[in-house]
Amino acid sequence: MSHDVVIVGARCAGAPLAMLLARQGRRVLVLDRTRFPSDTVSTHFMWPRTTAFLDRWGLREKLAATGCPPIDVVRMHWGPVTVQGRPAAVDGNDTMYCPRRTVLDALLVQAARDAGAEVREGCTVRNLMTEDGRVAGIVADDAEGKSFTAMARVTVGADGLFSHVAAAVEAPIERTHPPLTCGFYAYWSGVPTEGVEFYLREGRDVLVFPTHDGRTCIWVGRSACEWNLYRSDVEGNYLAGLDSSLRERVGAGRRETPFKGTNKLPNQYRRSHGPGWALVGDAAYHRDPLTGMGIGDAFLGAELLAEALHTGLEGNSDDVLDAALAGYEKAFRERTGPVFDYTLQSAALKNPAALVPFYEAIARNSGLTQSLMDVLGGTLPARALFNASTITRYIGGA
């Protein structure tokens, strides 16, 4: 049977896209080489902008029912200053979560199935099929290694940073900045945290998140150039990266998992549409994880692409479809561009002492605190707060 859309990859981008298209009544196949529940190398904090998608899709309550602790306070430590607050609600939703990917991704896959998408796990896409210069489907191996094909009007690569679909269509990288950070994380018991804690220091960032099963996920990042040094003694360097008070708390707890880490953190947009194909999620756009936007951006991409395909698949015109896919890419880049720039600035891990007085002013002023929280949460452009006139107004000529 031919499908409207075949999606390669069934995590944060692919599974919601399959769900949304199936809810439109489209014939959708989504494949993943893994079987769910399945973990991946990623921390998993979700700002209100991210949980708002789950809310809209009817999945937030399901996530809450998995025992994922709701998060309602953010503590941002910048140099000697601590700013505490929470981002404003997005579509009435101000709760944050940090669900294990084993739980979140399985929930998204189930939602795709429930909506009527055909989900095939343990299937690896090997090649794309083409017809008259357009991508026309996939060639894949099933779990037993048996090859099969699936035809579709649109093939979507939701297959992550190292996208096979992107490579097959030779999607160019159109904006890029080399990796700025690297890091390791692990899950701890006995290290309670009320809300999330972010520590931005010269050359390092530490992120502390409460997650399922009473555990705390702690990421310790460093400048990318320190990767080899960091890897030479992961535990020693990880612990050395913690502020002394946090190191004491961690010392009283217990590490429950091995360290996981990566330095493969490029900042880039890929061309994400062409004749009969599209990219979504990390395949289309990757940015340093420091700002915690990847899952929300995958959700955003899924929603924008589903909307574009709703129009593009009406009728049988390739021109209409191609125009809709071009519109998707444009809309996605407009929505994510400001945070891309802000992420590059933050991930440089520079802590200019000159900004400490401004952070002190932010900590003293509830309006500025709210603005900072909204910048962190990805709903206020950084330049709305970090601009010369606001900074001068609050810290004078200093």
Ligand X SMILES: Cc1cc2nc3c(=O)[nH]c(=O)nc-3n(C[C@H](O)[C@H](O)[C@H](O)COP(=O)(O)OP(=O)(O)OC[C@H]3O[C@@H](n4cnc5c(N)ncnc54)[C@H](O)[C@@H]3O)c2cc1C
Q: Does 293 bind ligand X (CB under 6 A)?
A: yes
Smallest CA-to-CA distance from 111 within 50, 42, 62, 53 is with 62
Which amino acid would we find at residue 264?
K
Closer Cβ to ligand X, 24 or 124, answer by number: 124
Calculate the CA 179 to chain-centre distance: 16
Q: Which stretch binds ligand X (CB under 6 A): 222-230, 270-278, 285-293, 314-322?
A: 285-293
User: Under rule CB under 6 A, which residues in 123-152 are in contact with ligand X?
Assistant: 124-125
Q: Which stretch binds ligand X (CB under 6 A): 31-39, 112-120, 166-174, 320-328?
A: 31-39
Residue the block writes with tokens 């549409």: 273
At its nearest, how many Å lie between ligand X and the CB of residue 395?
Answer: 31
Q: Dihedral of CA 286/287/291/297: which sign?
A: negative
Q: Does 222 bind ligand X (CB under 6 A)?
A: no
CB neighbour list of residue 361: distance below 8 Å, 6 or more residues apart: 368, 394, 395
Q: Does 12 bind ligand X (CB under 6 A)?
A: yes
Closer Cβ to ligand X, 300 or 324, answer by number: 300
Count of residues touching ligand X (by CB under 6 A): 33
The full DSSP string for 323-364 is: HHHHHHHHHHHHHHHHHHHHHHHHHT----GGGHHHHHHHHH
For residues 220, 354, 76, 297, the Cα torsion angle rounded to the nearest 10 degrees is: -70
CB neighbour list of residue 144: distance below 8 Å, 6 or more residues apart: none
Closer Cβ to ligand X, 323 or 335, answer by number: 335
Q: Does 87 bind ligand X (CB under 6 A)?
A: no
> Residue 398 and residue 393: Cα distance in Å, rounded?
10
User: Under rule CB under 6 A, which residues in 165-204 are in contact with ligand X?
Assistant: none
- Rule CB under 6 A: choose which of 48, 241, 274, 294 binds ligand X: 294
- Rule CB under 6 A: choose which of 23, 30, 32, 215 binds ligand X: 32
Q: Does 86 bind ligand X (CB under 6 A)?
A: no
At its nearest, how many Å lie between ligand X and the CB of residue 264?
Answer: 7
Residues that bind ligand X (CB under 6 A): 8-9, 11-14, 31-34, 40-45, 124-125, 158-160, 164, 262, 281-283, 289, 292-296, 298
